Every structure is written in structure tokens, then in C-alpha cells.
Structure 1
């Protein structure tokens, strides 16, 4: 009976994707406004390389990890790792609360901030501390790399090519990334109620779901529910 119900529900998901799967931009934007508002509370806090608190001062990634932690979103410590871990967002789809990345003192992502709307972002400047700058400024415009999203919708997803199922988070659980030596490294924490596309499964590390981009969730039945798509794209 349970198997029949699962197949029935998943058939509905595939048959009516516009109902259960959609663009997650609106949900991300709603939550992103809260994050941006909280981030602005630290305007004027001084810059400190390696700093992670208002009392000690912030560097760019330390500021981001501190702000997002307020909302139970764990970010990697460095801008480079944050750039690799977040969901890629096209320039036309950037919303408030997304992270924007730049290459500054070294190649690759070496600086980041929170997009706050009107083509502006808040960040920890090495010269002025926490401040708001414009993406249109020549310095930032010529060094811009792209945007990443760490805010996810709890219900909205679009079915993508290669997807085999959907993972629903019942309890907070770690997201891992496979390292070059085939080990798992913690990236951030997925929160209760969120849903993620699944692109594969293997039995390593006790079983793990492939969320794409080398990111994995281990198979802990009490924390996740996996639903296989009846028609894979």
C-alpha cells in the first residue's frame, strides 16, 4: 500500500510540474530581505583579516558566515569555498540575499558580499570595514565573477535533466563535498523543510545522494526522505 501511494504521489509530481515545481527566486528573495536587513546592522564595523565577530572585526567571508549563521545557514569559511559551494545564479536572476563574488588580490574568488538590491552589495572592505558598494563601480565591475545562492525554497524546484529524484530534509543534516582524495568535506548544513534535486546514489560512506556539482548528503533515514521520479529526464 505504501509503495502504491509513493508511486501515485510521484506520478502527480511529474504530471503537474507547474504545481509542485517552480522557480525558487521568489522564496529566496523573501528570506534574503531578512538577511540583508540584518547584515546592515553591522555597517561601520571595522575590517580585520581573519575576523569573524563584530567585536573583533570582520574580513569579507567572516562577515558572511556570521550573518548567515543567524539564519541557521552554515557557509564555508573562505570566499573561494563559498563560491564553489553555492548554487550558481545568472546575473538576471540575482535577488536580495544572494552572494556576489570578485577576484581581487589573487585569482579566483577572493572577495564576496551580500546583494542588497539596486545593483548594490554590502561587504567587509579592507579600507572602510562593513559598507555598501555598487556593482557599477569600475573597480568591482571589472573584477566581478558571479553570484551564488545559499537560500533555498522549502517547496519549489524545477525538474532538470539528469535528475532521478527529490530529497526532502526532515532534520538538519550536513552537506558534503567529495575531495580529491575521495573523502567527504563538510560544506554547510541543509535545513528542515528544504528540497533538493538528486542526480545519483552510491553505497560509499554508508550510502550517499548526489546533489550535483560533487555535493552529497549521506543516507540518514531519520533526517531525509528520498522520492524517486517515475519518469527521469
Structure 2
């Protein structure tokens, strides 16, 4: 999202899409994933605005809210407004459905604000002028003039619905055994010192070299950086982690909304990772530092 300060009256208009843009919207049943997304969005009303925020504990900026809502449905979309405007399927305003993303432009014509279309001439957005997540009517001249594009990232509900399927016991046991092996491998490195940009075999780890090494020793190849690792695997919702899942966090150096740290979930609310003076160590995901910088999780164990 473009972090440009604007007067309050600007933000008060920016969330609204004019009725004249959406007349003759089909009244047929909307896609089930979009409906679920809209229901989830309503539970977040009142969550405070936070630039760079991507989860309820942090608060949200406009694009962070849209990013989070899609992640909750197992759909990975771009993080920033600009990239959200470039991706997805372009939708005409006459075909809007719940779950579609509305993009608004600034005075220079650049993508500036993301909002989620809720159906029934309503949209939801997180903006500083409204102190966070609010539901709005879509009926102003300003919105009609500044509306840029509508995007859909829900193409096929049956495919996009990534709720866990029932696995045969043998497959589950195999994954569980592999996860246990990964944790045992990680534990043998406890106390190994941390060094940013560490090289393989140097006797040091940074966070992503640690995870890359541990998983490689168990037959799973991961990219080198934490950001790259966050792009692989299957999305896991908060609190639904299993042993061996990768958990991602932002750091002071990367800034909020940008992945800068990775850890391995070890079960019972614990993560094993490397950072600073402890080197490879255990921490609890509920500790304030990790809870407040948490961005998401991925599962790479099949």
C-alpha cells in the first residue's frame, strides 16, 4: 500500500464504490468461498488500522486485510495494493460477487486502496480515517471517479477450498514420522551460533539456512531465504499448525508486512529457530515478540 498522508475527507470517501458502477449486479448465488470470506470479514469489524498490518493481533492496512482474508480461505494473493491490482482475474462491475477485490487509485492514477466487495452494495476496508476495519455503503461520486479495477482471486470454489481432506492412516503416519525426524534433526543443532548470511558448513546458521539444512537432511529441498520459503507449501491457519510446519515473521529490518524470519513448529506451542545471542533455541509462539510479528505458516511435509 502506498503510504501517503492525505486529508481526512479523502479517506472518508475512498472506501466507497458508486451504485452507478454496480447496477444490474446478478442476484444469483455467489461463490461459496466468497461468501465465507465476507462472513470472516464481518468478524474483523473494529480491528484497528495499522500500516503494514496483516493479522488481527497487529491490525490491518487496506491491502493487509485483503491479503489476510484470502489467506484464511487458503488462497495466496499478492501483499501490496499495486500487486493486487496486477494479479487475479479482471471483473466487470456488473459481475461483482462477494470476495472480489475493489482497487481505487490515488490522484496520480496509481493503485492506492484495496477493499473487499461484500455484496448488497457494501464493501469492507481498513483505513486510518475510520480507525480500522469498517463496513461501508458503496455509493459516492468520489468512488466512481477513483475506482480503478475489480479483481477476482476466487476462480473455482471447489479447487480453492483447501480444507484438510481425510487422509488414509498410512499417509498420516508417514508425515507424522517425518515431522518427528525433522524436530530431532533441528534439536541436534541447539546452541549453534547465529550469523546473518551464514554459509553452509561455516558452523553458523541464520534462520533460513537453519530450516533449509534441517529439511534437506530429511529429503525436502527448500529455497535459501525466508521470503522464498514463505512462497512454497500449503497455507496453514493460525493455531492449526502441526510439527514441521514453517512459521514466518516480519522483523525490524524488513518492516511490517515483509517476511524476514522463519521458524519450525515443534508442537505444544513451541518453535525451534535461530536468532541473535541464543543461536538455535526454543521459544513459544505465544511469546509477545513472536505473536505480534507473526505473518503466516506453510506446510511442506506431504
Quickly name the TM-score band, shorter chain normalised: 0.5 to 0.7
Partner Cα distance (1:154, 1:33) in 2: 11
Partner Cα distance (1:190, 1:148) in 2: 24
From 135, 139, 145, the equivalent of 1:132 is 135
Q: Which has the larger radius of gyration?
A: 2
Structure 2 unpaired stretches of 5+:
1-26, 160-227, 235-302
Tell me which of the two structures has the higher relative contact order, counting C-alpha pairs closer than 8 angstroms and 6 or more residues apart. 1
Partner Cα distance (2:127, 2:106) in 1: 11
Structure 1 residue 105: deviation in Å? Answer: 6.2
Partner Cα distance (2:153, 2:61) in 1: 19
Structure 1 residue 140: deviation in Å? Answer: 2.1
Equivalent in the alignment of 1:148: 151
What is the total number of aligned residue pairs between the two structures? 140
Equivalent in the alignment of 1:68: 70
TM-score normalized with structure 2 length: 0.42
Equivalent in the alignment of 2:35: 33
Structure 1 stretch 69-78 or stretch 140-149: which is displaced more? Answer: 140-149
Partner Cα distance (2:100, 2:77) in 1: 12
Partner Cα distance (2:112, 2:232) in 1: 23
Partner Cα distance (2:73, 2:41) in 1: 11
From 53, 56, 79, the equivalent of 1:54 is 56
Going from structure 1 to structure 2, the CA distance change for 1:28 and 1:86 (only over 3 Å counts) comes to farther
Equivalent in the alignment of 1:194: none
Equivalent in the alignment of 1:123: 125
TM-score normalized with structure 1 length: 0.53
Instruction: State the SS of the aligned residue for 1:136.
Output: coil
Please tell me whether the aligned partners of residues 74 and 189 of structure 1 are also in contact (alpha carbons under 8 angstroms).
no
Structure 1 residue 27: deviation in Å? Answer: 8.1
Q: Write 1 or 2 for the structure with the bigger share of helix.
A: 2
Q: Write 1 or 2 for the structure with the bigger share of strand.
A: 1
Partner Cα distance (1:66, 1:86) in 2: 16
Equivalent in the alignment of 1:104: 106
Please tell me whether the aligned partners of residues 101 and 114 of structure 2 are also in contact (alpha carbons under 8 angstroms).
yes
RMSD: 3.1
